[in-house]
Amino acid sequence: MEQLLAATTSPKYRAIFMLAYGAGLRVGEITTLETSDIDSQRMLIRVRDGKTGQRYVMLSPRVLAALRTYWKAYRPPGPALFPGYAKQRAGTQLTRESIHRVLAKAVRTAGIPKHVSPHTLRHCFATHLLESGADVRKVQLLLGHAYLETTATYLHLTTAQIRQVPSPLDLIGTPQGHRLG
């Protein structure tokens, strides 16, 4: 992520990529964000989607800083947080294709050999939260998944992580008078 963000010179797209990774947003959710969806007082983002209706996700202070930098540079008119290029007319939305195109360019510039899509950033958000010990149910709600099985696809255990998980047997004391071995 650090390489990708360093390779992204546009404040607009830096904010977009930070939203995808820092809040786990779908590309379609990013394109429909409105300025009123950003609640800097409560540090929340209101996300409206066609799948679950509406949900709230965290607003990272770093994402907020990126949004403020973007806002100062572009001052988008109208309700759309990220208007399209139609001379930034009110009511236009940035397209998914634009986000994909700029992300692909940033990936090349950063020298990242793997395929990276906006969904990859969302996937990393979920995976990194789960790896850091976040509850899978909370991650499900943040992602806006209706089914836990969908969130479970983000559960990846490396062999190093598997070795770190203690057996429940090792967590209990050996009964008095009985020795193992």
Residues with catalytic annotation? 26, 51, 119, 122, 145, 154
Three-state secondary structure call for residue 85: coil
Q: Are strands 38-39 and 53-58 parallel, antiparallel or unpaired?
A: unpaired
- In the DSSP assignment, the letter for residue 80 is B
Q: Are 51 and 140 in contact (CB under 8 A)?
A: no
Q: Are 39 and 94 in contact (CB under 8 A)?
A: no
Upper half-sphere CA count for residue 32 (Cβ side, 13 Å) = 12
Give phi and psi for 172, each to the nearest 5: -105, 155
Token couple for 32? 């429909």
